[in-house]
Amino acid sequence: QVQLVESGGGLVQAGGSLRLSCAASGRTFSNYSMGWFRQAPGKEREFVAAIRWNSGNTYYADSVKGRFTISRDNAKNTVYLQMNSLKPEDTAVYYCAAGTTVGIRSPRGYDYWGQGTQVTISS
């Protein structure tokens, strides 16, 4: 079955960096979009970034544009989220997701989800 396993979360100070990884298995993802979402306590899950696996086209939320970079490694079937210049408001559980619809900015556009990884930014 499809598995998405996130790693790389942790606690860093504001201004620091983290790189999240999402290892995908269980099927071919060449026709999929891979997304990163985050959810802070008491808030709805929000779009962070996405990448079309076949074209490599990338998409970002305005709040992270210029600070975060999404990429993929075809050989490792892994998607990354490089997060720089982190802010306390980036604190959340980050989820990796895979989907085939065109609505890549909505959680409803994704069929598979990872378990999430906690990112905490101290001020």
pLDDT for res 116: 97
**Phi, psi values for residue 71, rounded to 5°:** -150, 170
In 3D, which of 58, 65, 118, 122 has the Cα closest to residue 94? 118
Cα–Cα dist 46/56, whole Å: 21
Q: What is the mean pLDDT of residues 64-81?
A: 96
Contact 95, 120 (CB under 8 A): no
pLDDT for res 101: 76
Average pLDDT taken over every residue of the chain: 95
pLDDT bin (cut points 50, 70, 90) of residue 103 is confident
pLDDT for residue 30 is more than 90? no
